[in-house]
Structure 1
Amino acid sequence: MSNPATDVKAMTNRQGSAGEVFVAFLKLGLTSFGGPIAHLGYFRDELVVRRRWIDEKGYADLVALCQFLPGPASSQVGFALGLLRGGPLGAAAAWAAFTLPSALLLVLFALGATAFGGPIGSGVIHGLKVVAVAIVAQAVWGMARNLCPDRERASIALAAVLIVIIFAGSLGQITAIFAGGLAGLWLCRAKGEAITGHVRFPVSHKAGAVALVLFFALLVGSPLLVAATSSQALAVFDSFFRAGSLVFGGGHVVLPLLEAEVVRPGWVTADQFLAGYGAAQAVPGPLFTFAAYLGTALGPEPNGPLGATIALIAVFVPGFLLLIGFIPFWDAFRAQPTAQALMRGANAAVVGILGAALYQPVWTSAIIGPHEFALALTCFVLLMAWKSPPWVVVIVAAIGGVLIGFG
């Protein structure tokens, strides 16, 4: 009789093909609604419980690593599982299969947005802007409960709001995250957590170091190349790469970062931005595919499918480089109290940044009267009290926007 523990170990050690990885993640990319936390549940059911690509302990530790790093946590977990199962080609297959369904839908939405004329079309767009208020409010509420449970971290979040109000744009957000990390070193050292589990992936220390060097080279070098060449394609890559490099705490945090990069320079209007963000709630897969919509809708060229490709790759690459870079060093690094305190402070600052974005641009652009306020409140109650799927709430908001238009 076989030993179940031995069978599981054998399954988790057996290598598969990139094709196998692609098929598994395509199924997930077509059906994974509900945001990053829900995605992690889908991954566990499909890849840990059913396919046994990794055991429970290893999966929990991988999730902890990806939630610690900047970037889209669910996509990073998927990328790492593809790497584990099929090597570098498996990692690429996992990302492509999980990302492309929603990215293609959002590109089509952006290309067809100009056809949304008349009262029905404009009402749908208006409803998508309103639902963004409820979605972001839900994200702020949930993140505040998890990441700011005490007065020290609540104070760090408040300070982050003040910083982004004083220093507008990406400068204020970078300053807030940096200041939050420093405040965490001072205020959050006494809240250490037990460390369990180990990450074991086929990435050498040398490969990890190369990935980290490449990440910082792109982060620092891209703006220098933009200044030297005045290339709009490089400017788009730089803006989305910088946004992807600073997303701590979940996919919704990309909203204020991307708004600073594309709306303030005038590449995308505030109405286009919020309509696309609302539409992104109705499709499966990672919220970061919102970048594909923005790349398509950009005013200056490159836009359309080429702009979508540049934006999509640029926003995901930093999270994957950091993941590869940290995997070999993770066990030693996360055990340091300094690292834990730094991240607690930075995560609290992220809550403040998203809270500021809830007001400007989300609330001020969408809530222009009592009808919009009532619709946003309805969507919020559906999400929070009734636990309705986001795509259902998006449909309700779109219908409500049409009714407001005819009212």
Structure 2
Amino acid sequence: MPATGTSAAGAPATGTSATGTFAEVLGAFLKLGLTSFGGPIAHLAYFRTEFVERRRWLDDRRYADLVALCQFLPGPASSQVGMALGLGRAGWPGLLAAWLGFTLPSAVVLILFALGMAHVQGPALTGAVQGLKVVAVAVVAQAVWGMARTLCTDRPRAGLAFLAALLTLALPSALGQVAALILVGLLGGWGLTVAPPGSAGPMGPVGASGPLRVRGAVSRRVGWVALLLFALPLVGLPLWATATGSSTLALLDGVYRAGALVFGGGHVVLPLLQATVVPSGLMSNAEFMAGYGAAQAVPGPLFSFAAYLGAQVHGPLSGWVGGLALLAVIFLPALLVLVAALPFWEALRHRAGVQRVMAGINAAVVGILAAALYDPVWTSAIHGRADLALALTAFGLLVVARVSPVWVVLLAALTGWGMTLVAA
């Protein structure tokens, strides 16, 4: 397979005549992995600056087409865009290089944080952890607010979001969340209206550029194989875990399912992962929320939070091995579904029924995240007026003052530590 792939017309996958290398792609994405703060929308803006304007790996229209595809798929959109850019630039080694460069910096920091929590105890740590739990309230509230404004733009979508929240609260488990996604998605396919292809999207007009050149790097046969590999763990892992009673297999199943069923942004992975590791006793809710708060202070994708979980869980998988294992597991479905979709994207994205179902799922995502804002985020973090005041301050800094999440997280941790010292 050529390193960049070709379209039917013989044009390079990236729209340039250059063939990249593993080292080139790794270096480009490592820089972004060390500096890309602000969440997936900010990541997409960084990618555009780096690869459209500065390096000229592709043009604006092809980039907008790629963003449209990855927003359509389950998984972390910014990471999938990065994988596709690496694939188009340097083939399969480029895909791996893009993922490693963008993901490993945050994953390593979160693993070190988890290992540090295991060896440091005392009032200072307790207070800092409480501050991190409180700032998670502000971060998730910001995500709910922003996603609701984008994905629930009319009364039918808002109603579907409320329905998804009610179902999630009534059935507080991973199964309840999956049921909400499926039911609300089907209702959206039946009753919603969507804009026709080619209308303006978050990155400008979508669909005006014709076929995405990078899809030529993947044949339809490879796409079907990737789709099969994507589906097999969704069916096989839960059956295997139930048959053996293995807590390790149950953990891998929950993390893979979380990576496979997340739509709308990395924050939505929170309730799915919480339902996997906390009720089973693999981790306390305080440990989970502290890690989620810390994940806001690192660059790169929020899915790197899985590295913290793998390092922190109590069981056979733990430490560095556990962190890197869960990191790979949570990103695997995003990779497989991307590869599966690339050869078929042009046909899928023009089907109105598919677009309506996706609009319903996006509304459901808002509702599920709103339910998670109450339980476990609020219930585990807000214990009094001081906690509420800190959460409101953090929310104001993030939403109104637009302060970087890094500084807000550090401020919350220091405030929590100071409040503990005062109380002592």
Give the TM interval when normalised to the shorter protein.
Answer: over 0.9
Equivalent residue number for residue 322 of structure 2:
307
| Among candidates 131, 135, 144, match of residue 135 of structure 2 | 131
Q: Say if 1:231 and 1:309 are closer, same or farther in 2 by CA, change over 3 A.
A: farther
Equivalent residue letter for 2:213: R
Contact 2:14–2:213 (Cα < 8 Å) also in 1 = no
Residue 232 of structure 2: aligned partner: 217
Q: Equivalents in 2 of 1:156, 1:174: separation in Å? A: 15
The code of the aligned residue for 1:68 comes to F
Residue of structure 1 in register with 2:72 after alignment: 68
Residues 1:116 and 1:370: Cα distance change in structure 2 (over 3 Å): farther
Structure 1 gap ranges (5+): 1-7
The amino acid that maps onto 1:114 is A
Deviation at 1:10, TM superposition (A): 8.8
**For the residues of structure 1 that align with 2:153 and 2:191, how far apart are their CA atoms?**
13
Kindly provide the CA deviation profile for residues 268-319 of structure 1, in whole angstroms up to 9, marking residues without a partner as x: 1100000000000111111000000001111121111121122111100101
Aligned residue in 2 for 1:331 = 346
Is residue 301 of structure 2 the alignment partner of residue 269 of structure 1? no
What TM-score results when the alignment is normalised by the length of structure 2? 0.92
Query: Is residue 193–residue 356 contact of structure 2 (8 Å, CA) maintained in 1?
Result: yes
Q: Which residue pairs with 1:196 in the alignment?
A: 208
Going from structure 1 to structure 2, the CA distance change for 1:190 and 1:46 (only over 3 Å counts) comes to: closer
Letter aligned with residue 188 of structure 1:
L
CA change 1:190–1:276 in 2 (3 A) is: closer
2:55 to 48, 51, 54: 51
Separation in structure 2 between the aligned mates of residue 304 and residue 75 of structure 1, nearest angstrom: 24
The letter of the residue matching 2:208 is: T
- Could you tell me how far apart the structure 1 residues matched to 2:252 and 2:85 are? 26
Q: What SS does structure 2 have at the residue aligned with 1:349?
A: helix
Residue identity opposite 2:315 in structure 1: P
| 2:105 paired with 1:94 | no
Output the CA distance in 2 between the equivalents of 1:172 and 1:46. Answer: 40
Are the counterparts in 2 of residues 11 and 52 from structure 1 also a CA contact under 8 Å? Answer: no
Structure 2 equivalent of residue 383 of structure 1:
398
Displacement of 1:253: 0.6
Residue 162 of structure 2 corresponds to: 158
Looking at structure 2, the residues matched to 228 and 396 of structure 1 have their Cα atoms a distance apart, in angstroms, of 47
Deviations 1:301-360 (A, max 9, x none): 111112112211110010110000011111111100001100000110010000000000
Q: Which residue of 1 aligns with 2:147?
A: 143
Task: Name the residue aligned to 2:174.
Answer: 170
Match of 2:301 in 1: 286
- Deviation of 1:406 (Å): 2.5
Q: 1:10 to 1:393 in 2, by over 3 A?
A: closer
Q: Verify the 8 A CA contact 1:236 1:310 in the aligned structure 2.
A: no
2:256 to 207, 216, 241: 241
9-18 or 125-134, larger mean C-alpha shift: 9-18
Q: Which amino acid aligns with 1:131?
A: V
Q: Deviations over 1:349-385 (max 9, x none)?
A: 0100000000000001100000000000000000001
Instruction: For 1:77 and 1:185, locate their aligned partners in 2 and report how far apart those are by CA, in whole Å.
Output: 26
1:111 maps to what in 2?
Answer: 115
Aligned length: 400
Measure, in 1, the Cα distance between the counterparts of 2:188 and 2:244. 39
- Pairing 1:393–2:408 present: yes
Determine what percentage of the aligned residue pairs are the same residue: 55
Distance 1:30 1:380 in 2: 25
Q: Runs in 1 of length 4+ with deviation above 6 angstroms?
A: 8-11
User: In the alignment, is the contact (CA less than 8 A) between 1:232 and 1:302 conserved in 2?
Assistant: no
Output the CA distance in 2 between the equivalents of 1:154 and 1:276.
Answer: 31
Higher helix share: 1
Contact 2:259/2:334 (<8 A) preserved: yes
Contact 1:36/1:73 (CA < 8 Å) preserved in 2?
Answer: yes
Q: Which residue of 2 aligns with 1:5?
A: none
TM-score norm. by structure 1 comes to 0.95
